[in-house]
Structure 1
Amino acid sequence: MIKVSLQSVVGAGYRDFWNYTGRYRVAKGGRASKKSTTAAMNFIYRMMKYPDSNLLVIRKVYKDHKDSTYTQLKWAINRLQVGHLWECRLSPLEIRYKPTGQKILFRGLDDPMSITSITVDVGYLCWAWFEEAFQILNEDDFNKVDMSIRGDTGGLFKQITLTFNPWSDKHWLKKRFFDVESSNIMAITTNYLCNEFLDASDLALFEDMRVRFPRRYKIEGLGEWGIAEGGVFENWKEIHFDKWEISKREGVRSAFGLDFGFTNDPTALSCSLIDLKNRELFLFDEHYEKAMHNDEIADMIKRKGYAKELIIADSQEQKSISELRRYGIRRVKAAEKGPDSIRAGIQYLQQFVIYVHPSCTNFGIELSNYVWDTNKEGQLINKPIDDYNHLIDALRYSMEPIRKRDRGR
Structure 2
Amino acid sequence: MVLVEKEANPHFEDFLFDWNQKFQFLVGGYGSSKSYHAALKLIMKLLEEKRTALVVREVYDTHRDSTYSLLEEIINELGLENRIRCVTSPMQIRFPNGSKIIFKGMDKTAKLKSINNISIIWIEECSEVKYSGFKELLGRLRHPFLDLFMILTTNPVSEINWTFKYFFKDQKKKILVLDDQELYKRRTIVVGNTYYHHSTADDNLFLPESYVEQLDELEAFDPDLHRIARKGQFGVNGIRVFPQFRVKSHSEVMAEIERIRRPLKRTGMDFGFETSYNALVRMVVDREKQILYIFGEYYKNRQTDDVTAEDLKHLKRENIKADPAEPKTIAYFSKSGFRMEGAKKFAGSRLQYTKKVKRFTQIICSDECENTIFELEDLTFKVNKQDEIVEDDFSIDPHTLSAIWYGLDDYEVADLKGDSVFSSARGY
TM-score, with structure 2 as normaliser = 0.56
> Tell me, what secondary structure is at the counterpart of 2:93?
strand
For residues 215 and 163 of structure 2, what CA distance do their matches in structure 1 show? Answer: 26
Check if 1:205 corresponds to 2:208.
no
**Residue 126 of structure 1 aligns with which residue?**
119
CA shift for structure 1 position 111: 1.5
For residues 65 and 47 of structure 1, what CA distance do their matches in structure 2 show? Answer: 19
Q: Structure 1 residues 391, 162: CA separation in 2 closer, same or farther (over 3 Å shift)?
A: farther
For 1:223, which of 211, 215, 232 is the aligned residue? 232
Q: Structure 1 residues 108, 208: CA separation in 2 closer, same or farther (over 3 Å shift)?
A: same
Residue identity matched to 2:153:
T
> Tell me, what secondary structure is at the counterpart of 1:111?
helix
Q: Report if the CA contact (8 A) 2:92-2:103 is conserved.
A: yes
For residues 143 and 106 of structure 2, what CA distance do their matches in structure 1 show? Answer: 22
Q: Map residues 13-162 of structure 1 onto 2, 5 A cutoff.
A: 13-21=11-19, 22-50=21-49, 52-97=50-95, 99-119=96-116, 124-136=117-129, 138-153=130-145, 156-162=146-152
> Tell me, what secondary structure is at the counterpart of 1:216?
helix
For residues 271 and 198 of structure 2, what CA distance do their matches in structure 1 show? Answer: 31
Residue identity matched to 2:85:
E
Residue identity matched to 1:368:
L
Q: Map residues 314-353 of structure 1 onto 2, 5 A cutoff.
A: 347=355, 350=358
> Tell me, what secondary structure is at the counterpart of 1:25?
strand
State the percentage of identical aligned residues: 25
**Residue 185 of structure 2 aligns with which residue?**
none
Q: Report if the CA contact (8 A) 2:158-2:378 is conserved.
A: no
CA shift for structure 1 position 195: 0.7
Residue identity matched to 1:163:
T
CA shift for structure 1 position 12: 1.4
**Residue 382 of structure 1 aligns with which residue?**
none
Q: Structure 1 residues 69, 229: CA separation in 2 closer, same or farther (over 3 Å shift)?
A: closer
For residues 161 and 386 of structure 2, what CA distance do their matches in structure 1 show? Answer: 17
Q: Structure 1 residues 206, 110: CA separation in 2 closer, same or farther (over 3 Å shift)?
A: same
Q: Report if the CA contact (8 A) 2:381-2:391 is conserved.
A: no
> Tell me, what secondary structure is at the counterpart of 2:118?
strand
For residues 118 and 2 of structure 1, what CA distance do their matches in structure 2 show? Answer: 27
Q: Structure 1 residues 5, 101: CA separation in 2 closer, same or farther (over 3 Å shift)?
A: closer
For residues 213 and 167 of structure 2, what CA distance do their matches in structure 1 show? Answer: 32
For 1:248, which of 320, 325, 328 is the aligned residue? 325
For residues 35 and 74 of structure 1, what CA distance do their matches in structure 2 show? Answer: 16
Instruction: Give the gaps of 5 or more residues in structure 1.
Output: 251-273, 283-341, 354-362, 372-384, 397-405
> Tell me, what secondary structure is at the counterpart of 2:119?
strand
For residues 346 and 87 of structure 1, what CA distance do their matches in structure 2 show? Answer: 49
Q: CA RMSD in A?
A: 4.3
Q: Map residues 268-307 of structure 1 onto 2, 5 A cutoff.
A: 275-276=343-344
For residues 29 and 387 of structure 1, what CA distance do their matches in structure 2 show? Answer: 26
For residues 235 and 389 of structure 1, what CA distance do their matches in structure 2 show? Answer: 24
Q: Structure 1 residues 365, 79: CA separation in 2 closer, same or farther (over 3 Å shift)?
A: farther
For residues 167 and 149 of structure 1, what CA distance do their matches in structure 2 show? Answer: 25
Instruction: Give the gaps of 5 or more residues in structure 2.
Output: 170-176, 179-190, 247-269, 279-322, 328-341, 364-373, 395-411, 413-418, 420-428
For residues 165 and 387 of structure 1, what CA distance do their matches in structure 2 show? Answer: 23
**Residue 249 of structure 2 aligns with which residue?**
none
Q: Structure 1 residues 66, 227: CA separation in 2 closer, same or farther (over 3 Å shift)?
A: closer
Q: Report if the CA contact (8 A) 2:27-2:155 is conserved.
A: yes
CA shift for structure 1 position 33: 0.7
**Residue 379 of structure 2 aligns with which residue?**
368
For residues 55 and 79 of structure 1, what CA distance do their matches in structure 2 show? Answer: 21
How many residue pairs were aligned?
282
Q: Map residues 189-204 of structure 1 onto 2, 5 A cutoff.
A: 189-204=198-213
Q: Report if the CA contact (8 A) 1:168-1:368 is conserved.
A: no
> Tell me, what secondary structure is at the counterpart of 2:111?
helix
Q: Report if the CA contact (8 A) 2:236-2:378 is conserved.
A: no
